[in-house]
Each structure stands twice: as C-alpha cells, then as structure tokens.
Structure 1
Amino acid sequence: MLNFEDLKNFLDEKADQYNTPDFIENDPLQIPHRFSLQQDIEIAGFLAATISWGNRKSIINSAEKMLDIMGNSPYDFVLNYSEKDLESIQDKSIHRTFNGQDFAYFIRQFNRIYKEHESLEALFAVRDSETNFHHAIERFRSHFLEEEKHRSHKHVSSPYKNSSAKRIIMFLRWMVRKDKRGVDFGIWKNIDQKYLSIPLDVHTGNISRKLGLITRTQNDWKTVEELDVAIRKFDEQDPAKYDYALFGLGVTKELF
C-alpha cells in the first residue's frame, strides 16, 4: 500500500492525465458540450446524466435521441412544447428502463421549474452547516418530483434512502467544478466545489478499495461519505478532480 504522499502524487498525476478535452469524446459529457446557453447545458446534462448506466456509446446514442425529439434546443422545447409533442413521446423507447413516459414527465417538471427559476442551481444550494450534497440532492428531489407517486421517481436517486446518487453527483461535478481544462463546465457560480463528492459506481468503488481509500463493501451513500473523507485529505478545495484519476485507473486497469 502506498503511503499518503505517494498515493496523493499518484492520484494527482492520474487526475491530470485524464482531465483533458480528449475525455469528452467518448463520454456522456459530450452531450451538454454541444450547447452554449446555460439552460440548454443544464437540461441536456441532467438528461444525459440520468440515463448514464450501461455502455457509454449506447448512453450517448440514447441522449442524442432525446436531443432530436427536442429539436436540439432543449430549453426552448421545455418552455414551448405542446401537449401533442408530449403525447408523441409517451410510447417511445429511450434508454433501458427510462422510457418515453419518463422523458415526458421530466420535460413537464423542467417546464415548471424554469418558470420559477432561471437555473437549476437554485435547487441544489448547499446550506452553511452542510459538508456535501446529501441534503441538497434531497431538497432538489422533493422540488423536482411531484408528491403524487410516478414511475419516473425511481430515476432520481435519494441519498436519504442510502443511494450513492451516482448520476446526480456526476451531473453536479459537470455544473459546479471549475478549472481551466474545458471538461467540466463550472457554470454554477454560487456553489463551492469543495462540497462535491466522487460519483460512486462499481468501478470507482473497486479502485478506491484497492487503493485503501474506503473499506465499506457496498456502493451506497455511506461509502460516498467515507470516500469524501479520504479524498478531501488530498485536496479539500477540489476533491472531485480525483474522479478523473479513478476513472483513468478503471480504463487502464493498471491496478488489476
């Protein structure tokens, strides 16, 4: 096992290696990168992140399907769709268990939220006493989802139910993290990136265990917080950059 200094240097080097525009080409992050208007970036980003499970190529194809339906103008579509537009979406297949009904539901929620707020950022604000997005995600969730139960609720994970909320955490990294690399957008100016966590999935979980960063065996919210403690020792101002390191190690398999 590497000592603290060696492990930090190793992870810094890997983060530096993978946090480059080349990363975008094969990643769902390329979807919001097609836009320059903030609201387009937010909507395209949230939808792409929501369907980010499985093969990355098929995620990108499915996200493109949604962009096509929205005429490649997500914000304009969200504000100005007709009921007929949504009816024609209902029966479409989009991505695995995320179907046309879910897509139509998300569009309705976006419409309601963007009539009240200029940006989704307002719904993810972190309060003074908080150390991560645990409560902020839950506040967003209760705002975004209507109280009446709907099949789409399962597509917005709940940290209160101990979900790692990997896709929302990834979306937050895209929106919040600021550097000069051109990968993450950093368009949300009022949320500090020090609150970000690593999107935890099978790969990042396994690599984090191999490096001795976490000991818990499940990939759940408690493990997200265990990983928070470890990575913030390396860089408390920009912990989420280590997502690139863990991702890169997952791709190269150099630890296996």
Structure 2
Amino acid sequence: MKKTELKEFLDAKVVQYNNPKFIESDPIQIPHQFYKKEDIEIAGFLTATIAWGNRKSIINNANRLMDLLDHAPYDFVLNHNETDLEKLQPFVHRTFNGSDCAQFVKSLQHVYKNHNGLEAVFAKHAEADSLQKSISNFKSVFFEIEHLQRTQKHVSDPLKNSAAKRINMFLRWMVRNDNAGVDFGIWNSLSPKQLSCPLDVHSGKVARKLGLLKRKQNDAKALLELDLALRKLDANDPVKYDFALFGLGVFEGF
C-alpha cells in the first residue's frame, strides 16, 4: 500500500471508530461519568491504570472502584482518612490490589496538594514532540512520598524501555480534543502533537501488518518507531490513528 493509500485507509477507519459509539465498549466510559475536571482526571487515571486484560472486566472493576470512591474521586483523594482507605482493601484487578489502590489515593493527594495536580506534573517536563520524559518524571513525583515498593510496578517508565501503553492512553484521553465526544481535551497546557500511540498487542499487530512498525517487541523503541511513522501521516494529531489500529485489531480481526 502506498503512503497516500495507507493514509486514506487509516483516516477512514479513524472516522469509523472515533465516535461516541466507541465509548460503549471502552474503559473511557468511566471518566465520562463525571463533569468536573479533577474527577475526570482521577477517574481516567485510575481506570487507565487497571486497563489490561479483558475489557469487560476492566470496565466492571473500574466501576467498582468508583463506587469505593463514593463516585466523588477528587473529594475522596483530597479528604480521605485511614478508615476510608480501609474500604479499598478488598479491591483487586489482576495484580493491582487494595494496598496498591490505597497507595495511589495517597500519591494522588500528594500530586494535587503539593504539585498543582496531574496536568501540571505531566506538563512540567514536556518536550516539543514527546511526553515520554514527562511520564518518567511523573513516576518520580508520584512515588516521592513514603510508598509500597510493590506499587511502583503499576506506573510505567518509558526511560526504562516501557511502551507505557496505559499512561499514553490516559494522556490521549486528557489532551486530545477530537470534537467527537470521545477524548476529553481538557488539558490545554499540552498538545496532541506531543502524544504517543498507546501501543499494545492489538495496535502493534496491525501496525506491523501495515508496515508502520518493524520492531517485534512492544517496548519504548517500538513506540518511537510507530510515533515517527504516524507523525508522517498527521504531525498535528498522530494518535488519532490509535482508533484505526485498535479498531482494526479488536473489532475487525485485521
């Protein structure tokens, strides 16, 4: 497929999947339950954190987590006490358990009280065409308070060769304004051109079939290779193609 044909094909798939119907079967439906910026951010971040495995299970457990946070995630994060944190102990999604959950709430409180919130932390080390250093810096800030060592594995670090799929997906949700009602676009201090594609099994497989990616592992090096390819198709909004790659892989078995 020539570059112009590939772009036309993928642009058509973006239109097909980047619409409100996508929300019905995607974890992004969880932050869509909220209207306040901080509630959307926190619900989105926690949902993205557990977004691996069966999608139905992700959505069910993310809804359960919102129940445990009294459907007021920002208020819970800011004003929780030890008794509130004990309520989180039964929560489990794969290897993310109640202790991890309590640690995330404490770390989020630290981010909002001492670092001006999630957007400010991610914006601080942003580069013109990448947020991968920002993600690494975010992890440092997130765990600069006393924390459980085991919980560190639930925040990826691109500078240690992780593709950081879930955080890149979260950043897409927050930064990209698609005018279609799917991604929120509530972070004005960052631009869609800085985003990276959430690289997972589905998007990676499709990207390789289409010749957008040669590297076999889904790691930070593969992410950079895919980023460069997608920026050639649309420098201002490269991660819109996440909808095309994911849709082709999950819904069409491409």
Residue 72 of structure 1 and its aligned partner are, at CA, apart by 0.4
Report the Cα distance in structure 2 between the residues aligned to 1:128 and 1:134, rounded to whole angstroms: 8
SS at match of 1:71: coil
Alpha-carbon distance between aligned partners in 2 of 1:76 and 1:47, rounded to the nearest angstrom: 15
Higher alpha-carbon deviation: 217-226 or 107-116: 107-116
Distance 1:229 1:95 in 2: 33
Counterpart check, 1:63 vs 2:52: no
Aligned to 1:113: 111
Which residue does 1:226 correspond to in 2? 225
What's the CA shift for 1:179? 2.3
Distance 2:225 2:99 in 1: 36
Give the TM-score of the pair, scaled to structure 2: 0.96
- Mapped partners of 1:88, 1:126: distance in 2: 33
Asked if structure 2 preserves the Cα contact closer than 8 Å seen for 1:174 and 1:185, the reply is yes
Letter of the aligned partner of 1:201 in structure 2? D
Tell me which amino acid in the other structure corresponds to 1:68.
Answer: D
Q: CA deviation at 1:253?
A: 3.0
Whether 2:175 is the aligned partner of 1:176: answer yes
Partner in structure 1 of residue 120 of structure 2: 122
CA RMSD of aligned residues (A): 1.4
Which residue is equivalent to 1:136? Answer: 134
Distance 1:128 1:243 in 2: 21
Q: Which residue is equivalent to 2:241?
A: 242
Cα deviation, 1:203-251, whole Å, max 9, x if unaligned, reads 1111000000010000000000000110101100000100000011012
Residue 100 of structure 2, aligned match among 96, 99, 102: 102
Which stretches in structure 2 are left out of the alignment for 5+ residues?
A: none
Distance 1:129 1:111 in 2: 26
Q: How many residues align?
A: 253
Kindly tell me: are residues 129 and 32 of structure 1, through their superposed partners in 2, closer, same or farther at Cα, counting changes over 3 Å? closer
Residues 1:240 and 1:126: Cα distance change in structure 2 (over 3 Å): farther
RCO higher in structure (CA 8 A, sep ≥6): 1
CA distance in 2: counterparts of 1:43 and 1:51, whole angstroms: 13
Give the partner amino acid of 2:131. F
CA gap of 1:128–1:111, structure 2 versus 1, over 3 A, is: closer
Structure 1: which 5+ residue stretches go unaligned?
none
1:1-256 matched pairs, under 5 angstroms: 2-90=1-89, 92-125=90-123, 127=125, 130-146=128-144, 150-253=149-252, 255=254
Q: What's the TM-score, normalizing by structure 1?
A: 0.95
CA contact (8 A) 1:126 1:133 kept: no
Secondary structure of residue in 1 paired with 2:92: strand
